[in-house]
Homo-oligomer: A and B are copies of this chain.
Amino acid sequence: MTTVSLGAGPANARDPLSLIFAALADPTRRAMLTRLRQGPATVSEIGEPFAMTGPAVSKHLRVLERAGLVTRGRVAQARPATLRAQPMQQVAEWAEEFREFWDQRYDRLDDYLHTMSDDPEDQS
């Protein structure tokens, strides 16, 4: 496998955790999930604070739904969206596995600054 996916591959070819991370890689979708913490909402309710069209909201909701972060109601007209936060637990648990390394961040910052000081002419 020598190809490199930058997150633009076909969504149905991807593993669950990749689908979740890709769904969260958008500030509007993250804001929608935060909105849904207040309770289920319809497409027009969700779109309002973003001044977004219904089709644009629906497209974002489909991405969230595919990742398991949202379920939609069955009533044809409204189909209110409901938060499903269980995938968030997977995200948190995956990130938590790196906790020992983020706790070491000051040591690592020291290392990094030391590396930089080896090259005093660096302009960036």
The interface of chain A, by Cβ under 8 A from chain B, is 1-8, 11, 14-15, 17-19, 21-22, 24-28, 30, 33-34, 37, 50-53, 56, 59-60, 63, 71, 73-74, 82-86, 88-89, 91-92, 94-99, 101-102, 104-105, 108, 111-112, 115-116, 118-119
Contacts and interface: CB of A to CB of B under 8 A. Distances in A.
B59 A4 contact: yes
Contacts of A118: 74
Contact of A33 (B85, B98, B99): B98
Number of copies: 2
A112 B33 CA distance: 18
Contact of A84 (B3, B17, B82, B108): B108
Given A22-B22, A83-B101, 5 more contacts: A7-B8, A7-B22, A86-B102, A88-B95, A89-B102
